[in-house]
Amino acid sequence: MDQNSLIYFDYAATTPVRREAAAALLDALAHFGNPSSRYGFGREAARRVKEDREAVATAFGCSPDELFFTSCGTEGDNWAIRRGAELNRRRGKHIVTTAIEHAAVLETCRDLERQGYEVTCLKPGRSGRVTAEQLAAALRPDTALVSMMLVNNETGAVLPVADCVRAVKAFDPAILFHCDAVQGFLKTPEPLARLGADLVAVSGHKIGAPKGVGALYIKKGVRLPPLLTGGGQEEGLRSGTEATAQIAAFAAAVRAVAADETRLERTASIKDYTLSRLKQALPRLEVISQGDAPHICAVTLPGYKSEVVVRVLGDRGVCVSSGSACHKGRPSHVFAAMNLPKSWLDGALRLSFSPDSTKEEADVLVSALRDAAGSLFTTLS
Ligand code: PLP
C-alpha cells in the first residue's frame, strides 16, 4: 500500500522522519569524517556533533555536558538501570519501579532480579497513574534506584515524576532516580531537566528523527559508569564512533519540533475531536484513558478482539495499535495492571496523534472503525 495514502494514528509506535531531519541526515552523510580524527575533516564532524548536542541539551533544559547520545531509548534505559544499580550497590539491591513501564525497563529489572536484586513494582490505580505516596511507602534503607516513566506509552497517563523525585530525595538523596521519558520528550510543557531526576532517557524516532538514535541525560555529579566501553567517545561514558548522521537528524528534529510552539495544543485538540466523534459513532466504545499527554489515548470495544480490528483497519490503510507495538499479540501488561475487565483488555486499542493529524483523517478512522465493528459484529453473531 502507498505509504502516502495511509491514515496513521500510531505516532507512539514511531513517527515519520521529518523533512528537516532527512535533510540533515543526508548532509551529515556527505561529511563522513570521524569526529575523533585530528585533521580538519574530522574536526568538522566533531564540531557538528557539538552543535547538535547543544541543540538537544537546550530542549532538555540541561547543559550539553549532561547529555550523551545513545542508539535508542532502550539503550538509555538499560544504561541507567544496570549501571545506576551498580553505582549504588553498596546501599543495597532493592529497586522500585512501576508495573506499567515499557519492556525496556521491566525486562532490565527482571534481568537484575535474576542477578539477586529485589524489585518492587508499584501498581497503578484505574487512572493508570501511581502516586508519590505509594512510592514513598515502598522506599527502604537498601533501595538503590527508582525507575519511573514520565508518559505511559499505552494510556498517555503522565506520572507525577517531579513529586516522586522530591519524595525519593527527601527519603535519601543518595537513591538514584531514573526516568524513561521516551514518550514525554517535547510532549509535555516542562523541559525534562526540571523533573529533577538523576537520569532521563529519550529516543529520536518518537519525534521525527530516524530510528537508531537517542540520548541519556546524566545530571552533573552523578558518576554513572559506562554501559559500552571502548574508544572513549562521549567523555568516556559511551564508546562507539558517534553516529554523526543520526545525531544530526535527531538534533534537526528537536530544533524543528521545539520551534513549533502550538504543537501540544494542536495534538490535544485533534485527540479530543477524534474521541468525541468515536463516542458518537460507536455507542459500545469505552474510553480506557483520555491520556494526560496530548498525543496518546486508549479506547476499547468490549466483545471484539483488538488484534482482528487492527488487521481489518490495516487492510483499509488505517494504522492504529492494539497496545504497545512491542507486545506481539500478548495482552497489555499496562491495561492488566489497571485491573480492567477481560472484555476491555481484549478489545483495547491505542490511538496516537501528531500535531499535524487532521480532522479529515480522524473522520476516516471513525468511519473505518464503525464499518469494521459492524462487519465483525455480523460475522461473530
Ligand atoms: N520506553 C517507552 C515508554 C517507549 O514507548 C519505548 C518505545 O516504544 C521505549 C522505551 C523504547 O525506545 P526505543 O524504541 O527507542 O528503543
Give pLDDT tens digits for 162-190.
999 999 999 999 999 999 999 999 999 99
Fold of 19-259: Aspartate Aminotransferase; domain 2 (3.40.640)
Taking the whole predicted model, whether its pTM rises above 0.85 is answered as: yes
> What's the confidence (pLDDT) of residue 134?
98
Fold of 3-16+262-375: Aspartate Aminotransferase, domain 1 (3.90.1150)
Q: Is the CB of 263 under 6 A from ligand 1?
A: no
Sheet-wide strand order for 296-300: 286-289, 296-300, 348-352
> What's the confidence (pLDDT) of residue 379?
53
Q: Is the CB of 108 under 6 A from ligand 1?
A: no
The Cα–Cα gap between 379 and 381 comes to 6
* Domain residue limits, the chain: 3-16+262-375, 19-259
Residue stretches of the chain with pLDDT short of 50:
326, 381
> To 10 degrees, what angle do helices 244-259 and 19-30 make?
150
> What's the confidence (pLDDT) of residue 79?
98
Annotated catalytic residues are: 326
Q: Is the CB of 180 under 6 A from ligand 1?
A: yes
> What's the confidence (pLDDT) of residue 2?
74
> Which residue's C-alpha comes closest to atom 13 of ligand 1?
73
> Which residue's C-alpha comes closest to atom 8 of ligand 1?
13
- Report the DSSP pairing between strands 7-8 and 348-352: unpaired
> What's the confidence (pLDDT) of residue 327?
54
Indicate the residue type of 89: R
Mutate to test the pocket of ligand 1, among 206, 324, 332 (most ligand atoms within 8 A of CB): 206
Closest CA to 182 of 7, 13, 371: 13
Mutate to test the pocket of ligand 1, among 107, 203, 324, 327 (most ligand atoms within 8 A of CB): 203
Main-chain phi, psi angles of 129, to 5 degrees: -115, 160
> Is 114 exposed, middle or buried (CB count within 10 Å of its CB: 0-12, 13-18, 19+)?
exposed
Q: Is the CB of 295 under 6 A from ligand 1?
A: no
Quick check: do 3-16+262-375 and 19-259 share a fold? no
In ligand 1, the atom with minimum distance to the C-alpha of 14 is 8
Planar angle of CA 272, 306, 72, nearest 5 degrees: 75
Q: Per-residue pLDDT tens for 251-307? A: 999 999 999 999 999 999 999 999 999 999 999 999 999 999 999 999 999 999 999
Q: Is the CB of 151 under 6 A from ligand 1?
A: no
Other Cβ atoms within 10 Å of 105 Cβ, number: 26
